[in-house]
Amino acid sequence: MGYHSYITRDRDSWNAYVNRALISEAYHTWHYHSLNKEGEAVLFVVNYNGDFIALPLIKRKIKDSSFFDLTSVYGYAGPISNVDLSNIPAQWISYFRTAFVDFMSAEKCICVFSRLHPFINQHLLIQSIGDVRGNGNTIYIDLQQPVEMQRSKYHKRLSRQIRQLYKADYIIREASSSEEIRDFTEIYHENMDRLGASPAYYFDEQYFKDLLKNDQFQCKLILVYEKTQLICGAVIFLSKTIVRNHLSATSATHLNESPSKMLTDYISIIGRDASANVFHLGGGVGGRRDSLFTFKSYFSDQEIEDRIWCYINDKKTYDALVQEYSNNLADSTGYFPAYRQNFSKETVQTAD
């Protein structure tokens, strides 16, 4: 049969590959990609004697030009396969590289950026295509250990605070109505205002509704109430092996109480009940060991390297765009693609 590569935009074909993959998450599905409005969702596929590698991407138009670039969705995507990527033969890697470069040239895509998934050995497949960069570390909890052992590793003060929060008269429940989604969206936007977040993070009410009402991955909205007041909430994703807090928010009225600490522990129990192996907490902003990273580290000392992938396929055009839009400041800023730093809402800065 030999090698065969192609791209698909078809929902059913796309999800057939996702469902066959050894490890996949919401971030790899057609539905999640369909919610991205920056460009066209495409799945690049290489088949070999019944096995496959599939790489989901967003193809974006570069303004005032006839060219495009490729990026990943918000979250942890990158290539997936029905075989362990650490065992891919060198010949297959070589073919993947050739086919992917040909695809980029045919589609007039000058470069690609993708955040990689820390629990899939993706870097072993694509490290010969462009540049795989470290982006700091990311934190996770091993859910295969006894829950008592998990909690014994919490920071001492954190453990005490979580016990106190559980003893308080807070109610934790899964959202089941449009009104609850609307209320969560409001406190989420308040959080973004308080943090001075980029417009890219202001997901609207319809976005959350579309996440929760899909047939391709498990998504739940878990809410914390004090009597009738919503004080905290989190949108969580559940896959075969991983649970994660996708987006969360706390009401300004309860920042000091920090009910998110209790909610994080509660999500780990949801993951256990769903037979997940890992609760991926994530890392700091831009891969830095900042206050967000420190908060997450109070739950676990288990870290794994976070990576991003950058590749320029058409350097001449790329350099011309950098000159036009960025005044050739790419080397000092660390943004990729450098020409988008002045007009894209989804630029990426690597960790120091």
Write the Ramachandran bin of 108: left for phi over 0, alpha for psi from -120 to 50, otherwise beta. Answer: left
Do 276 and 238 meet the contact criterion of CB atoms below 8 Å apart? yes
Confirm whether 313 is domain-assigned.
yes
Confirm whether 289 is domain-assigned.
no
CATH of the domain at 257: 3.40.630.30
Does residue 57 share a domain with residue 12? yes
Residue 2: is it exposed, middle or buried by C-beta count within 10 angstroms (0-12/13-18/19+)? exposed
Count of beta carbons in the 10 Å neighbourhood of residue 342 = 12
Confirm whether 237 is domain-assigned.
yes
- The domain tally of the chain equals 2
Confirm whether 208 is domain-assigned.
yes
Confirm whether 338 is domain-assigned.
yes
Can you tell me whether residue 236 is helix, strand or coil?
Answer: strand
Rounded Cα distance, 221 and 209, in Å: 10
Q: Which residues contact residue 297 at a Cβ distance below 8 angstroms, ignoring those fewer than 6 apart?
A: 139
Confirm whether 66 is domain-assigned.
yes
- What is the mean pLDDT, run by run of 10 residues, along the chain of 352 residues? 88 97 97 96 95 97 96 97 93 94 97 97 95 95 98 97 96 96 98 91 96 96 97 97 97 96 98 98 89 95 97 97 72 78 47 28
Do 119 and 242 meet the contact criterion of CB atoms below 8 Å apart? yes
User: The tokens 């790489």 sit on which residue?
Assistant: 55
Does residue 168 share a domain with residue 67? no
Does residue 161 share a domain with residue 77? no
Give the residues across from 9 on adjacent strands: none
Do 121 and 129 meet the contact criterion of CB atoms below 8 Å apart? no
Residue 264: is it exposed, middle or buried by C-beta count within 10 angstroms (0-12/13-18/19+)? buried
Does residue 156 share a domain with residue 121? no
Q: How far is CA 181 from CA 26, 219, 236, in A?
A: 19, 13, 13
Rounded Cα distance, 71 and 57, in Å: 6
Does residue 171 share a domain with residue 265? yes
Nearest to 333 by CA among 348, 311, 317, 316: 348
Select from 254, 276, 298 the last residue of a domain.
276
Confirm whether 336 is domain-assigned.
yes
Does residue 170 share a domain with residue 96? no
Q: Which residues contact residue 163 at a Cβ distance below 8 angstroms, ignoring those fewer than 6 apart?
A: none
Long-range Cβ pairs for the range 313-321 (8 Å, 24+): 313/101, 313/104, 313/105, 313/109, 313/110, 313/111, 313/112, 314/67, 314/104, 314/105, 314/110, 314/111, 317/67, 317/110, 318/110, 318/111, 321/62, 321/65, 321/67, 321/110
Confirm whether 271 is domain-assigned.
yes
Rounded Cα distance, 104 and 137, in Å: 30
Does residue 319 share a domain with residue 269? no
Q: What is the pLDDT of residue 286?
A: 82
Does residue 150 share a domain with residue 272? yes
Does residue 82 share a domain with residue 46? yes
| Residues in the chain, total | 352
Q: How far is CA 244 from CA 139, 247, 326, in A?
A: 11, 9, 36
Residue 14 has φ and ψ, to the nearest 5°, of -55, -55
Select from 276, 298, 316 the last residue of a domain.
276
Helix, strand, coil share (%) of the chain residues, nearest 5: 40, 30, 30
Q: What is the pLDDT of residue 147?
A: 98
Does residue 176 share a domain with residue 131? no
Does residue 46 share a domain with residue 80? yes
Rounded Cα distance, 131 and 111, in Å: 11
DSSP letter (8 states) at residue 287:
G
CA-based angle 218:346:315, to the nearest 5? 120
Does residue 170 share a domain with residue 95? no
Long-range Cβ pairs for the range 323-332 (8 Å, 24+): none
Count of beta carbons in the 10 Å neighbourhood of residue 344 = 19
- Domain membership of residue 221 as a residue range: 145-276
Select from 232, 254, 276 the last residue of a domain.
276
